[in-house]
A and B are shown apart, each in its own frame.
Chain A
């Protein structure tokens, strides 16, 4: 009987209690916050707030916010750039820092020891630049226009190498000796997550990587590398990402306050530190022993948008390795009409015609070579352009546009034949000029029905000698192309698949960070 009474009490208790409602909040988040996914459940349990995350890159995210894309919250590794570009729009209603992670350089432990960098607190960005310039240091770094880690690193390195002790100004950008430093960048990527995976795969030819401290520490902790990374905190200073949670929709203030209160609680901060290896933002949670505790000198972050723009363009057009991008384009009969138009617009946008935030920084760069390889059931004569002047009205940009306008759809689809030609051309070009990034983009709207087969192509790739491997193919899914086939193709070459079915333009822009 007591059981019955207890049950009744329980029933009454249940009945009396109001059912706790879960509130959904949409979050536009930087892709580096994907590692928070395992903590979202805790957040929901403790606050009754479910975060619905949509991921995006640096400039893309800033652009979407400024354009007024509806979202309740935004969460990026830092909010400084967004605060600056929003101007008078004031889209950020409130913001609160939630975690910390400096952007630093990881160097293979064996190499760092040989250079006397292990346990040495006096290593500077200048020392790093010297090793990069001499060719001894070969590192991976994400593209600053697409990824926050690359962006933060670029601002830090430029500030340190400009010799200024203050926030970077437009005049300092000219003075910064960046060329030597970026000679060492041998792998670029549009996202810091992809960069890490590519580093793990290619760490035979690389010996360093720039990324968030948390990401590098996780590589070591998860034993993903044979040669662990030693983290270098250069003496001139670094820039720390502080992950502000931003309230965009003022109607959600109450939920936002509740969320922030939990995110800043010792309970969450402790768990966050243990799981993601980011540093806590409250003094009550002490750094665990895994963290290095040198004097972390924080460099000033510029407050001047002109200086930042100038720096990004100086990087893209002047300092980074120039690249040679091969565009293997399906111009088969099925592309006729709307599809062909989308393709032509997407490519012409890259000639400086897209004046959006992300468009400006994804245009073709000065010194860059472009080879277009159109195909249907046969492969047409490839055409190569070199951009000598990146302004949209320059002769070289106009020539690219003219060429793109001349493309005519007809015939069948010989994907692999065209790709094989692209690889052969790229390998010859690489032999003549090894100090460039080489990459291939494949856009197709259909299935292979002419020329060599997928299997024959895979055999061709597998048979390449080691020194010829590593040129990646980035595939764009479009029309009736096979998702599985395109993904496989990206996988066997070390590239990545981009979905162009929603927006072909966006897919081409996203790939720019990898080229």
Chain B
């Protein structure tokens, strides 16, 4: 009796099972067809934003899924076949401009921005404070004398040459660690800032103004030796390798804030962020190469949910109130507005400086 029942039961189960399998898989296929896959090149500091499941879901709601490749922002224009991609999302208007010219595209979306800041250590901030370079206001460290800091760097002073250096008695040069200025935007932003300071606090706007300062600028980069192509690298080293690797690291504020709010954050009490005065903003600009890229640009720039999620990753945008409440919610010590901000030089001038440094790297 039992046995008689088993055979039909088995058949039924099989039919139901296979049927369910087909139903699920067909449904998945249909869903997948509605989603447009968009492939693009991004600056590495935006990877976490795109990998955030909330961002993936928000994009999916708009019928988009993103395939990413990371690269240095300037490298995107120089080393990739842009026709193979739907969009590029570099950091910095100079890199964006270079890509627009390379790809002959006029459209661009300013998705968000972030100020340049310096990832450092409280013990380092203390030494710089004792040397009149850094000062604290409202629990936030500012580099109030960038001129003096650059003078130390250019004069090849070591940390052990500074007054009150006992906490960091190391024979390393006082140099800002950056990425490769030939490949990456964050280093180009440091170049912009340093050129402004060395040009007597004026934006460099002619070849004649480059000439007297270029050698000093070169030394800030060449003496660092081998550096990385994209800004996630030096920041990860900062999180993992301690102050012996690099006591001062030029980063995007957003990188630090994103790490600070991450569950299981890599930041420790010994770490701190320094804000250069003046600082410089980096705009994160999406350049679409076709309609698919354009859809992504529109979504990132206009979708309130995605704009809110960008803030959750430490970026700033039009929604100043949103950023304020993000800072408050996470009890971060972050300046609400930065008053002393300089513009980068024009694309042509910055490019000219980078090319001159590039020649020095080649030994010319």
Contact = CB atoms under 8 A, between A and B. Distances in A.
B225 A303 contact: yes
Given A16-B18, A94-B70, A295-B170, A166 B224 contact: yes
B226 A80 contact: yes
B22 to A, nearest CB: 9
A165 B13 contact: no
Contacts of B267: 283
A390 B69 CA distance: 46
Contacts of A36: none
B21 interface: yes
B156 A166 contact: yes
Contacts of A100: 240-241
Interface residues of A, number: 41
Interface in A296-313: 296-298, 300-304, 306
Contacts of B14: 8, 12
A302 B13 contact: no
B363 A306 contact: yes
B226 A167 contact: yes
A114 interface: no
Given A284-B266, A295-B243, A306-B363, A167 B223 contact: yes
Contacts of B158: 165
Given A1-B6, A165-B172, A281-B236, A8 B13 contact: yes
B246 interface: yes
Given A301-B225, A306-B363, A1 B70 contact: no
Interface in A28-51: none
Nearest to A285: B240
A347 B241 CA distance: 45
B225 A166 contact: yes
B77 to A, nearest CB: 14
B32 interface: no
Contacts of A368: none
B226 A301 contact: yes
B227 interface: yes
A308 B242 CA distance: 27
Interface in B249-286: 264-267
B17 A236 contact: no
A296 B13 CA distance: 64
Contacts, number: 103
B175 interface: yes
Contacts of A421: none
A235 B171 CA distance: 9
B25 to A, nearest CB: 9
A5 interface: yes
A90 B226 contact: no
A1 B13 contact: no
A301 B222 CA distance: 11
B218 to A, nearest CB: 12
B356 interface: no
B240 A9 contact: no
Given A4-B10, A165-B173, A296 B226 contact: no
B347 interface: no
Contact of A90 (B79, B245, B246): B79
Interface string A74-107: 0000001001100000100010010010000000
B243 A300 contact: no
B361 A303 contact: yes
A304 B14 CA distance: 67
A253 B69 contact: yes
Interface string B8-23: 0110011001100100
The 9 A-B pairs of least Cβ separation, nearest first, read: A167-B225, A283-B266, A300-B225, A12-B17, A166-B223, A297-B244, A301-B226, A16-B21, A165-B173
Interface of A: 1, 4-5, 8-9, 12-13, 15-16, 80, 83-84, 90, 94, 97, 100, 165-168, 235-237, 240, 253, 279-284, 295-298, 300-304, 306
23 contacts: A1-B6, A4-B10, A5-B13, A8-B13, A12-B18, A84-B226, A94-B69, A94-B70, A100-B240, A166-B173, A168-B225, A282-B240, A283-B265, A284-B264, A295-B170, A295-B243, A296-B244, A297-B170, A298-B241, A298-B245, A301-B226, A302-B226, A303-B361
